[in-house]
Amino acid sequence: MSVSLSKGQKVSLSKEVPSLTRLHIGLGWDPVKKKGGFLGGLLGGGSDSIDLDASVILVDASKRVLDNVWFQQLKSRDGSITHSGDNLTGDGDGDDEVIRVDLTRVPAEVAHLIVTVNSFRGQTFDEVDNSFCRLVDESTKREICKYELREKGRNSGFVMAAISREGNGWSVKALGAPANGRTVHDLVAPALGLI
């Protein structure tokens, strides 16, 4: 059964799935539906597309950034993490962008995988609904945990979660911290302040 995370909550992935080796990080969102009914729909009501970008920052124990995986670099330099590519609209159900992690190949010096989401176009989270981050056991397709972001704001990004080494395994902590920036590089400083 999937764990529903609240902001600040931490869960041991190793306890939830002792044999976890491959992780699917799914991020999803929808554009806010605009009011207006039938006539409003004809005159531009409905919803606009939202171009959010999911990214992962690889960080060592000294808070030094080792690598980033995002829409302009779809694979980590070591090959352990791959990104599904950029979803420009947020349309459809389920995961809009997916980042896959082979935990057995993540270099030992990587202490944290920080998951971020930001708007390249500068759209704010006042324009976003149903934003979430979920972790799935890639081998069984079972959802381990899900963090539903309920916050709104004039910010263009969020530091969603940190997946961290814990002993011989991994844990995840829901962060949900607002940030601003058009790319993952703009979210590095706020992200490092949270681990």
pLDDT band of 86, cuts 50, 70, 90: low
- Are 179 and 157 in contact by the 8 Å Cβ rule? The answer is yes
Quick check: is 68 in a domain? yes
Share of the chain above pLDDT 90, in %: 63
Tell whether 43 is covered by a domain: no
- Average pLDDT (175-195) is 94
pLDDT, tens only, 135-178:
999 999 999 999 998 888 999 999 999 999 998 899 999 999 99
Question: Could you read off the pLDDT of 18-38 as tens digits, one per residue?
Answer: 889 999 999 888 888 776 555
Residue 68 has pLDDT above 50, yes or no: yes
| 100 token code pair | 């896959």
Please give the residue that has the higher pLDDT: either 39 or 5.
5
For the segment 37-56, what is each residue's pLDDT rounded down to a tens digit? 554 444 444 456 777 889 99
**Other residues' Cβ atoms within 10 Å of the Cβ of residue 118:** 28
Residue 29 in any domain: the answer is yes
Residue 38 domain-assigned (yes or no): no
Q: What is the pLDDT of residues 101-114, one digit of tens each?
A: 999 999 999 999 99
131 vs 88, residue with greater confidence: 131
pLDDT at 93: 63
> Are 162 and 192 a contacting pair, CB within 8 Å?
no
Task: Write down the pLDDT at residue 41.
Answer: 46
Residue-range definition of the domain harbouring residue 13 = 3-33+48-192
pLDDT at 189 over 60: yes
Q: Is the pLDDT at 74 greater than 90, yes or no? A: yes
Q: What share of the chain is helix, strand, coil (3-state, %, to 5)?
A: 10, 45, 45
**Is there a domain that residue 107 lies in?**
yes
Residue 120 has pLDDT above 90, yes or no: no
The number of domains in the chain is 1
Does 27 reside within a domain? yes
Distance CA 187, CA 70 (A): 12
SS3 labels along the chain: CCEEECCCCEEEHHHHCCCCCEEEEEEEEEECCECCHHHHHHCCCECCCCCEEEEEEEECCCCCEEEEEECCECECCCCCEEECCCCCCCCCCCCCEEEEEECCCCCCCCCEEEEEEEECCCCCHHHEEEEEEEEEECCCCEEEEEEEECCCCCCCEEEEEEEEEECCEEEEEEEEEEECCCCHHHHHHHHHCCC
Please state the pTM of the whole predicted model: 0.88
Mean pLDDT value across the chain? 87
**Which one is predicted more confidently, 81 or 40?**
81
**42: in domain:** no
pLDDT of residue 32: 85
Domain of 131, CATH number, reads 2.60.60.30
Is 175 a domain residue?
yes
Report d(CA 98, CA 26) in Å as an integer. Answer: 5
